Every structure is written in structure tokens, then in C-alpha cells.
Amino acid sequence: MSQRRTPLAWIKRILLRVVVTLAVFWGGGIAIFSVLPVPFSAVMVERQLGEMLSGNFHYLAHSDWVSMDEMTPWMGLAVIAAEDQKFPDHWGFDVSAIEKALAHNEQNENRIRGASTLSQQTAKNLFLWDGRSWLRKGLEAGLTVGIETVWSKKRILTVYLNIAEFGDGVFGVEAAAQRYFHKPANKLTMSEAALLAAVLPNPIRFRADAPSGYVRSRQAWILRQMRQLGGEGFMRENKLY
């Protein structure tokens, strides 16, 4: 005769099923999106639900998928220059940047600095929720390893550029190019790409259609970094375009 399960045993069983389900879901997502376009991201769903719950039924979070060949090479170079200059070489994490961020945050509690790579940001935007927590960072780390293992760097950059948030309801470089410059993503100039990359730290606060002095100064810095990296040649040398 079997013993009755205790409440703790039931909780463990439920948690195990949740973990297995999520692992299968995320693993399948990584495999599927290694070749297929991403229709929407977790952050897009989060934004959409938030707006609907607040009564805004006109808000529509969507992305118009484009391949890397349908974007200007300046766009990929701009986000690498702005967010993750070691992107072609690291395995998903920039250890030196993490150490510097930790040291900075210990001394500046009111001005927290992040150190997320483009790979980490892609994992978070695609599969997880916004905000800061140790749980989310732990899941993000595991998903980053999975993405780096299965996807090429070019694929990671392509997905990132198609789901990145560039403004209120504006996701992906094609939607951003159409909204702010009234042109497709493959027609963006070097300066326009740098401006879009300049708002990425906080695309709700910083606006590409009404750039503040800070955004303009950041755009200028990104342009300098793009030139120092080597321009379009950098993208082709690292097989990112």
C-alpha cells in the first residue's frame, strides 16, 4: 500500500514538472528560431498585456521580420559599437565588463550599470520578462549558453535586431526605420543607425524622433566607435553580414 504524499512532496513534484516543461519549451524555441523568423518576443507580450490591462486597446506590439541581408550593415555595427564591442569573440558573457560593473555598482548604488552582452539581451528579450532579479538573471545565463551553443553570431545579431525595443510599441529595426525615418531598414544611413542604437539603454525614456542632448552625444560617440571598429569591413571580417 503506497504512502500518502505530503504537501512538500506535491510541491516538489509540481516544481519539477514546471522546470521540465520550461526546459522543453525554451529548448524547442532555441532550436526552432535558429532557422525560422521570430513572430514575437516575451517582452513584446509583456508590453502588450500591460497596455491591455491598463485599458489601452490601440497599442500593438509587433515586429516586421527582416533578414540581415535586408538591413544596412551599419545597423549591426551600431549596436555592437554601442552595446557589446567584444560580441564576435566572447562566448555569451563579457567577464571583464561584469567585473567592472560590479565594482561600479558597489560604489554607486543609485546609478546601477549593467554588463549584458547582445547574446544575454537576446535571451532575455526573447524568452523572459523585463526587470531585475536573481531568478531572471540565472535563467538568462542558462538561455544565453543555449543560444551561443546552437546559433551563429550572425543569427544572434539578426534575432536581436528584429526584437529589440526602439520606442513605445516599436520593435525591430524595420519598424524603427519606417517609424522614424520613413524608409526600409536597408536604406538607413550610418548616422541614422547610430541614432537608433543610442536609445537602446532606455527606449521609452530616450526617443529617436525627439533626441535629447544626451542621445545626440551618445550618437556621436557611437559613430566614433563604429569608425574605430573598422566600419563595414568589421561586419564582413567577422561573418556578421
Q: What is the pLDDT of residue 61?
A: 84
Side-chain half-sphere exposure of 159, counting CA atoms within 13 A: 29
Which CATH architecture describes the domain 9-238? Answer: Orthogonal Bundle (1.10)
Q: How far is CA 148 from CA 92, 143, 155, in A?
A: 6, 9, 10
Q: What is the DSSP letter of 115?
A: -
Of the candidates 118, 209, 198, the one whose C-alpha atom is nearest the C-alpha of residue 162 is 118
**CB distance 239 to 158 below 8 Å:** no
- C-alpha–C-alpha distance, residues 173 and 178, integer Å: 9
**What stretches of 37-165 show up as alpha helix (H) in DSSP?**
42-53, 73-83, 95-107, 118-127, 134-150, 153-163
- C-alpha–C-alpha distance, residues 9 and 220, integer Å: 58
Q: Along the 241 residues of the chain, how does pLDDT read in single tens digits? A: 445 567 777 776 776 666 666 666 678 889 999 999 999 999 999 999 999 998 888 888 888 999 999 999 999 999 999 999 999 999 999 888 777 766 555 555 555 455 799 999 999 999 998 877 888 889 999 999 999 999 999 999 999 999 999 999 999 999 999 999 999 999 999 999 999 999 998 999 999 999 999 999 999 999 999 999 999 899 999 999 8
Q: What is the pLDDT of residue 63?
A: 85
- C-alpha–C-alpha distance, residues 32 and 134, integer Å: 27
User: Whole-model pTM?
Assistant: 0.88
Side-chain half-sphere exposure of 96, counting CA atoms within 13 A: 6
| Environment class of 116 (CB within 10 Å of its CB; exposed 0-12, middle 13-18, buried 19+) | buried
Q: What is the pLDDT of residue 100?
A: 74
Delimit the domains of the chain by residue range: 9-238
The Cα angle at residue 91 between residues 81 and 223, in degrees rounded to 5: 5
